[in-house]
Structure 1
Amino acid sequence: MISVEASADVSEDAAIGQGAKIWHLAQVREGASLGENCIIGRGAYIGPGVKLGDNCKVQNYALVYEPAVLGVGVFIGPAVVLTNDVFPRAITSDGTLKTEDDWDKVGVTINAGAAIGARAVCIAPVTIGSWATVAAGAVVTRDVPDFALVAGVPAKRIGWVGKAGLPLRADNGTWVCPQTGSRYGEHDGGLREVSD
């Protein structure tokens, strides 16, 4: 069953997966695609053609501009902004109002399991790796590797996180999750899970 609050504005041309919940004052634009069990918080905006995988959570007042693509299980914190214009201007160089034809949209891609903290801003075009965490208030201006923990303005890697979201601890050349015991090894500037 899909649950849409009466004050939400959901386009008839949007594809909404089973189990989705769309809260008060949220807007889901034409051509957007929400996977199963997605939650769209109060006042959140999902732009035209944006794609969300199953089990995504977009918290209150987050702005997900097209052509963003979110993988399965992505968390978008309150008031997060995913931009879509590298050189924003309201008018062209001759002073006329820009139209849709004057705009070259670029998107933010967020891979499976990643989390974006409250009020963070991701400046398109960037890719956030699987299971990565962007700290609250960070401004992401370049790609983030899988399992990276980034913070600051501009965001820089300050550590690694596991699938449980907790910072990993170094242990004899690998990284270990304190909750699950899963081990990760560094590979090509990122991490990947390794078997014992």
Structure 2
Amino acid sequence: MAAYFAHETAHIAENAKIGKDTKIWINVQIREDVKIGEGCIISKDAYIDHAVQIGDRVKIQNGVSVYHGVTIEDEVFVGPNAAFTNDYYPRAQNPEWEVTPTLICEGASLGANCTVVCGHTVGKYAMVGAGSVVTQDVPPYTLVVGNPARAIGKVCRCGQRIPEDGVCPKCGFVIPE
């Protein structure tokens, strides 16, 4: 018996590695050579492309497609219908196609319907607002919004916006220099 839960409608490649206590819900497809850590939630209608790496305690909401070349570190939140690209110069037919990697770092939060254009890194505990389009790297602990996404402030590990003094009013966390 598996150490994870998979809904009966989920399609999981035989060689995918799924961590303990992970939950895989309705109509999820997980392709070959995928590695998903422990304690994750992969919600309804998600698609995880081949060779994708997902850390521990990651939550991927409904309708998200995570394409080849995307790496998601521990404790990342990916909101409903967030999108990733993996081809910087997409064409229907391109014999010279190369995957352009994307990295979502530990603790980052991606809002609903945001898009992360390939080749960029979303830093540790950064927050991408709903509907934003990430077209450049997002530094750690940075809040970005809009299209293209632009920095409007800093956020704490707990998700609260940080005032200019750099100290979280909720938990006292100080953003590292």
Residues 94-151 of structure 1: CA deviation (Å, up to 9, x unaligned): xxxx4xx532011210010000000000000100000000000000010000000000
Match of 1:94 in 2: none
Match of 2:173 in 1: 182
TM-score by length of 2: 0.96
Residue 106 (str. 1) matches residue 91 (str. 2):
no
Match of 2:30 in 1: 28
For 1:179, the aligned partner's letter is K
TM-superposed deviation, 1:67 = 1.2
For 1:73, the aligned partner's letter is E
Match of 1:88 in 2: 90
Q: How does 1:1-196 map to 2 (within 5 A)?
A: 1-91=3-93, 98=94, 102-171=96-165, 175-184=166-175, 192=176
State the 4+ residue runs in structure 1 displaced beyond 6 angstroms.
none
TM-superposed deviation, 1:13 = 1.4
TM-superposed deviation, 1:52 = 0.5
Task: State the Cα RMSD in Å.
Answer: 1.0
Residues 29-72 of structure 1: CA deviation (Å, up to 9, x unaligned): 10110000111000011110000111001100011111111111
For 1:106, the aligned partner's letter is T
TM-superposed deviation, 1:157 = 0.3
Distance 2:9 2:50 in 1: 19
Q: Secondary structure at the match of 2:164?
A: strand
Distance 2:64 2:100 in 1: 18
Gaps of 5+ in 1: 92-97, 185-191
Contact 1:65 1:107 in 2 (8 A): no
Identity, % of aligned positions: 40
Q: Secondary structure at the match of 2:113?
A: coil
Residues 150-182 of structure 1: CA deviation (Å, up to 9, x unaligned): 0000000011000001100123xxx11121011
- Counting matched residue pairs gives 175
For 2:11, the aligned partner's letter is D
Distance 2:173 2:32 in 1: 41
TM-score by length of 1: 0.87
Match of 1:189 in 2: none
Determine which structure has more spread, i.e. the larger CA radius of gyration. 1
Gaps of 5+ in 2: none
